[in-house]
């Protein structure tokens, strides 16, 4: 796929040897089926729509093809005439406090004796956590005993650890537990942490020129393909070559940019002393510019996005976290700058200056695949 062919003379970027870890959710779905209709409503009220993630059939070849288009300096995916970037809304994000939850907090939250926790904590690849088998057995016992509130907490934790914040297969580590408890007890939004993990992972894999993508694959898959397909659940399985062709054929007219149901009036544009938006995840810290994603937020792109590489940062892994940076990030989220009408009239349009710039950018970074024949399946399947 990385060589020229036919009448195409545009040079291609070298494709990276990427792999994607697809979370195993069959046992989690079986647990979710134990919830009756009223209980599911209660669960959604507590944990929103995370059960829907269990129904997303991630096609790993689609994600490996998509990841080839990542443009690290701009924290986005650059295609032949447009860009897309995972973004966020809301505030009060998850903030790592430089320590993990105490065993006492875990015991009280999940109604587990501390001795039992100590007996089941596992150190796996230098990560502390619980084997998924233990948590699944705990959930089954809670359902059997009719302890539905605690069952819901354990089920949600499993989804956090296996789907939202996976690290090792069939293992829920203390980092995922930390995010879950911060959401449950303090209402901290986990989405910025998911976003941080996505960007950190893509950035790291491009820096290393390959490797395993095992963070937030379900979220990334769902986010990207909802911009392309009207019904993801009926999407047929495609080969690696077919996915490369589908994504290479995309153009700005085939994208579903914004739906009014998203109800986004203001955009988080910067935080505190940072020129953009700093993100803190379970796998590192990174910044991103929402100006790359304005069309997805219902505002026009008229000029090229400005990315000051001198102010850009990424830190991989918590072992090398800079304590002063963590404090600055936490403090900055107390001074969030939002913009709405200043961004222009509600529109997903583009200006000529930006359109010319993004096509030039695509030529500069080079695309990984040549586009061939556009099929109707790109927008209808």
The reported pLDDT for the residue numbered 373 is: 53
> How far is it, in rounded angstroms, from Cα 278 to Cα 292?
15
Q: How many CA atoms lie within 13 A of 364 on its CB side?
A: 9
The reported pLDDT for the residue numbered 88 is: 84
Report CA-CA distances (Å) from 237 to 54, 226, 227, 303.
17, 16, 18, 38
Averages of pLDDT over each 10 residues, the chain, 381 residues:
52 95 96 97 97 95 97 96 90 85 96 97 95 98 98 99 95 97 95 95 96 91 90 84 96 91 88 94 93 95 83 78 86 94 92 96 96 50 40
Q: What is the mean pLDDT of the chain?
A: 91
Cut 0.85: pTM above it: yes
Tokens 């790109």 map to which residue? 378
Sign of CA dihedral 244, 167, 75, 51: positive
Burial of 373 (0-12, 13-18, 19+ CB in 10 A): exposed
* Token couple for 138: 């705990």
The reported pLDDT for the residue numbered 58 is: 93
The reported pLDDT for the residue numbered 320 is: 56
Summarize pLDDT for 193-242 with one digit per residue, the tens: 999 999 999 999 999 999 999 888 999 999 999 999 877 777 889 999 99
Summarize pLDDT for 315-355 with one digit per residue, the tens: 887 655 678 888 999 999 999 999 999 999 999 999 999 99
The reported pLDDT for the residue numbered 376 is: 41
Burial of 80 (0-12, 13-18, 19+ CB in 10 A): middle
* Token couple for 286: 């990174």
The reported pLDDT for the residue numbered 4 is: 44
Name which of 85, 88, 77 is nearest 269 in CA terms.
88
């Amino acid at each position: 796929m990385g060589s020229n062919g036919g009448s195409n003379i545009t040079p291609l970027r070298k494709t990276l040897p990427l792999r994607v870890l697809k979370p195993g959710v069959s046992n989690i779905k079986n647990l979710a089926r134990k919830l009756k209709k009223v209980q599911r409503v209660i669960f959604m009220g507590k944990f929103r729509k995370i059960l829907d993630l269990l129904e997303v059939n991630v096609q790993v070849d689609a994600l490996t093809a998509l990841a080839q288009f990542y443009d690290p300096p701009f924290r986005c995916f650059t295609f032949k005439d447009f860009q897309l970037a995972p973004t966020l809304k809301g505030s009060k994000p998850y903030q790592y406090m430089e320590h993990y939850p105490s065993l006492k907090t875990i015991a009280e939250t999940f109604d587990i004796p501390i001795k039992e926790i100590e007996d089941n904590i596992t150190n796996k690849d230098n990560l502390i956590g619980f084997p998924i088998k233990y948590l699944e057995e705990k959930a089954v016992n809670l359902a059997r005993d009719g302890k539905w509130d605690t069952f819901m907490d354990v089920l949600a934790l499993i989804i956090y650890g296996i789907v939202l914040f996976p690290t090792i297969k069939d293992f829920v580590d203390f980092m995922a537990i930390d995010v879950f408890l911060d959401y449950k007890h303090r209402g901290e939004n986990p989405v910025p942490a998911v976003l941080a993990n996505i960007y950190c992972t893509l950035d790291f894999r491009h820096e290393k020129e390959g490797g395993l993508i095992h963070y937030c694959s379900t979220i990334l898959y769902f986010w990207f393909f909802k911009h392309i397909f009207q019904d993801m659940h009926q999407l047929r399985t495609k080969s690696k070559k077919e996915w490369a062709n589908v994504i290479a054929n995309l153009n700005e007219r085939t994208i579903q940019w914004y739906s009014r149901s998203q109800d986004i009036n203001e955009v988080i544009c910067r935080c505190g002393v940072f020129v953009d938006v700093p993100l803190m995840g379970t796998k590192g810290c990174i910044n991103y510019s929402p100006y790359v994603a304005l069309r997805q937020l219902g505002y026009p792109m008229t000029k090229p996005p400005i990315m000051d590489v001198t102010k850009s940062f990424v830190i991989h892994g918590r072992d090398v976290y800079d304590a002063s940076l963590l404090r600055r990030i936490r403090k900055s989220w107390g001074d969030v700058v939002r913009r709405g009408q200043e961004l222009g009239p509600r529109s997903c349009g583009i200006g000529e200056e930006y359109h010319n710039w993004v096509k030039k950018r695509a030529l500069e970074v080079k695309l990984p695949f040549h586009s061939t024949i556009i099929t109707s399946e790109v927008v209808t399947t």
